[in-house]
Amino acid sequence: MNFDLQLLDAAKMRDLLNRFAGLSLLSTALMTALPSTSMAQWPQFRGPHGDGVVAGPLPTQWSQDESVQWRTELPGEGWSSPVVAGGTVYLTAAIKREEPATEKPAEEEEDAPRKPKPAAYDLSVLMVDEATGALTKRIDLFVQSTQAARIHKKNSHASPTPVIDGQRLYVHFGHQGTACLDLAGNVIWENDSLGYKPVHGNGGTPVVVGDRMIFSRDGAKISEVTALDTKTGQIAWQCQRDVEAPRHFSFCTPAVFEVAGKQQLVLPGSNVVQGIEPTTGQEIWRVQYEGYSVVPRPIYHAGLVFVSTGYDRASLLAIDPTGEGDVTDSHVVWQTDTSIAKTPSMIGYKGKIYQLSDNGIAVCFDAKTGDMEWKERIGGNFSTSLLLAGDHLYMTSEAGVTTVMNIAGEPEEVAENDLNERTLASFAVSHGGLLVRTADALYRIQ
């Protein structure tokens, strides 16, 4: 059955389907050994392929005192997700600077209200030993002044996730600055020249494609995609959105995949999603829609690109990426508004698309037709992106409760695991275990 589904006419649908039919992640003190597997490295947001899908198996049951290998308190604030390479976990944090104590004026009354002073933050990289959980290094990169713009209550000054290309670590603090380090924490370059006025702070995570580090700059008055040269940190290219939008700000992370033997970078923003050639920045195609404050990372599955359009009412678009130019009217294969996420990123698996709305409704769609397969209420509010390991779907609420669901057949809840800590960052997976960042700490679940 179709639920709130807008399909193209049958002839156009058959034509599009024919075009893409062929395309198609010890003890609490110390781990004595880390097995060498493909799940040992987690180089970017949502894993090696940026889609949240791993082979598994992974732990399915834990609590604050069960299956926790270690828990490490983290300094500062940050909602960047962990990345892992060579036995080290990397995160970013905004660490409030201590202000010198000042004497209270003698004439001021004891109970007189005081206006809180704006805080200054060090924008930093944290390095944690994967085996022991020890915080081994802190590298302060930029200073956010007390004049920085206000951020959303669900944001932080360190929300974009780092990226590792094998030898280097790239960190991004939006309008505050971008840096490249080696994996020992030595700074190679910094670029703080790309400031702009944000709305609600920064959020979009960069990707690295060859010698290009690419990210969005969607703020109050700017809407563009920027690529830096990974060797120097200087601008390699910029691609303008060139779309009319009442609100320009968005917080999306690019997706990169191959179509007909050529790489495409897909990055939604307010009122438009673009397919871009990542080396040159040339736009290949675009689809326009009504939406802003776009967060979910797009995915590529079953020959289609899947995009959530953000606020106010999110739609899920299934787009054939083989076109050129403005393909709004020709290459949107199907579209639905049923329980679509505004924040969590989706999963594509075995011809199905799995979505989790911000208010906790999980939905499964057929990838090629958009038909709804099932819908389940999970409960809670959600910002973290979905993770799939084998046939197990992991969904973590903002309260720190992870629901594990078996989706091999009819959806079946396997476990509900409560860390009882606020959680907005997404999972990292390494050596068969889960890394979970909460408001105060980093956990390893084994």
Domain assignment present for 330: yes
Neighbour count for residue 130 (Cβ, 10 Å):
24
Three-state DSSP at 129 gives strand
CA distances from 392 to 52, 147, 295, 357 (A): 12, 45, 24, 18
The domain tally of the chain equals: 1
> Under a CB-based contact definition with an 8 Å cutoff, are residues 184 and 88 in contact?
no
Q: What CATH number is associated with residue 381?
A: 2.130.10.10
- The 8-class DSSP code of residue 98 comes to P
- Measured in residues, the chain has a length of 446
pTM, whole model, 2 decimals? 0.87
Domain assignment present for 103: no
Domain assignment present for 106: no
Contacts of 423 (CB under 8 A, 6+ apart): 384, 396, 397, 398, 399, 400, 436, 437, 438, 439
Domain assignment present for 374: yes
Domain extent, residue 36, equals 5-97+119-445
> Under a CB-based contact definition with an 8 Å cutoff, are residues 274 and 286 in contact?
yes
> Under a CB-based contact definition with an 8 Å cutoff, are residues 139 and 125 in contact?
yes
Contacts of 362 (CB under 8 A, 6+ apart): 354, 355, 356, 375, 376, 377, 378, 393, 395, 405, 411
Give DSSP secondary structure letters for 306-325: EEE--BSS--EEEE-TT--E
Tens of pLDDT along the chain (446 residues)? Answer: 333 333 344 444 444 444 444 433 333 333 323 333 333 499 999 999 999 999 989 999 999 999 999 999 999 999 999 999 999 999 999 999 876 544 444 444 444 444 455 578 999 999 999 999 999 999 999 998 766 667 778 778 899 999 999 899 999 998 889 999 999 999 999 999 987 777 777 878 999 999 999 999 887 777 899 999 999 999 999 999 888 878 877 889 999 999 999 999 999 998 999 999 999 999 999 999 999 889 999 999 999 999 999 998 899 999 999 999 999 999 999 999 999 999 999 999 999 999 999 999 999 999 999 999 999 999 899 999 999 999 999 999 999 999 999 999 999 999 999 999 999 999 999 999 999 999 999 999 99
Tokens of 183: 């994996």
Using CB atoms within 10 A of its CB, is residue 299 exposed (0-12), middle (13-18) or buried (19+)?
A: buried
Closest CA to 281 of 240, 316, 330, 322: 240
Q: Per residue, what are the HEC states of 155-197?
A: CCCCCCCCEECCCEEEEECHHHCEEEEECCCCEEEEECCCCCC
Q: What is the CA radius of gyration of the chain?
A: 22
137 half-sphere exposure, CB direction, 13 A CA radius: 16
Tokens of 207: 């990707």
